[in-house]
Copies of this chain bind each other. A is one copy, B any other.
Amino acid sequence: MARKQEQRSEETKHSILQAAGQLFRERGYDAVTMREIAKAAGCSHTTIYIYFKDKEALLHQLSMAPLQDLFAEMQACLQDPSLPVDEKLFSTSWSFLRFCLKNRSMYALFFMTKSSRVDEKEPAMELQKLRNEMFGLLKEAVIAALPAPLTEEQAWAFARVYFFTLHGIIGTYAETEEPYEQLIERVGPTFELALRVSLAGCKQIAQEGDGSK
C-alpha cells in the first residue's frame, strides 16, 4: 500500500533532482530559481523544501554523490597494477573530463569556488576536501608518469601544469550547450591530443633539467 506513495515520493524527489541538475547545468546555479526548478519538476516550489533543506542542499545533494563516484573511479584506476603509468594518467584524466563535461556548468561550483574560509559551513568543507583529494590523485598520476626524480616543488609545478590543460579543456566548453556525446565526437580527439601534448611536454622539460624556472 505504502509502496505506491513511497514510489511516488521517490519519483518526485528524483524529478526535482533531475530538473535542478539540468537547469543548473544549463544556466548555472545562481540563475536558476526554486520556482523554475519546481515548474520543471512538475511540482510546487514548496515541495522542494520537503526534500531539500534549501537551494544549497539541493546542489550539494546533486554534487557529492557523483563526485564521490568519480573519485572512487579515479582511485581504482590508479591502483590497478596492470596499467602502465601513462595509461593511468590518461584514464583518470578522461574520467575527470567526462564527469566535468557532463556536469559542465556545475563544474565551476565544484572546482572553482573560492577556497572556503576555515569557518565555512560543513558541506562546503566536505566538497573542498574531496576536490583537494582529487587533485592529489592527479598529481600522483602525473608524477608517476614522469621519469626523473623530481623535487617536491617540481612535482607540484608539473602537476599544476597538467591540471591547467584539464581545466582549460573543461572551461572552454563549460558554457556550451552541445550535448556531451556530440561534443566528444566533435572534439574528443583534440582532448586526447591535449593530454598527450601535456604529458609529452612535461616529460621533455623534466628531462631537460629543472622544472620550475
Contacts and interface: CB of A to CB of B under 8 A. Distances in A.
Nearest to A199: B201
A213 B198 contact: no
Given A167-B168, A168-B164, A168-B167, A212 B193 contact: yes
A196 to B, nearest CB: 6
**A interface, over-half SS:** helix
A197 interface: yes
A179 interface: no
A197 B190 contact: no
Given A114-B177, A169-B164, A211 B193 contact: yes
B193 A197 contact: no
A133 interface: no
Interface string A190-211: 1011101111111011000001
Interface in A182-196: 187, 189-190, 192-194, 196
Contact of A190 (B157, B187, B193, B198): B157
Counted per complex, copies of this chain come to 4
A205 B211 contact: no
A158 B174 CA distance: 20
A161 B174 CA distance: 16
A175 interface: yes
A191 B206 CA distance: 15
Contact of A112 (B175, B194, B201, B213): B175
Chain B CB count within 10 A is highest, among A30, A157, A199, for: A157
B160 A190 contact: yes
A204 B205 contact: no
A72 B165 CA distance: 26
A77 to B, nearest CB: 22
Contacts of A177: 114
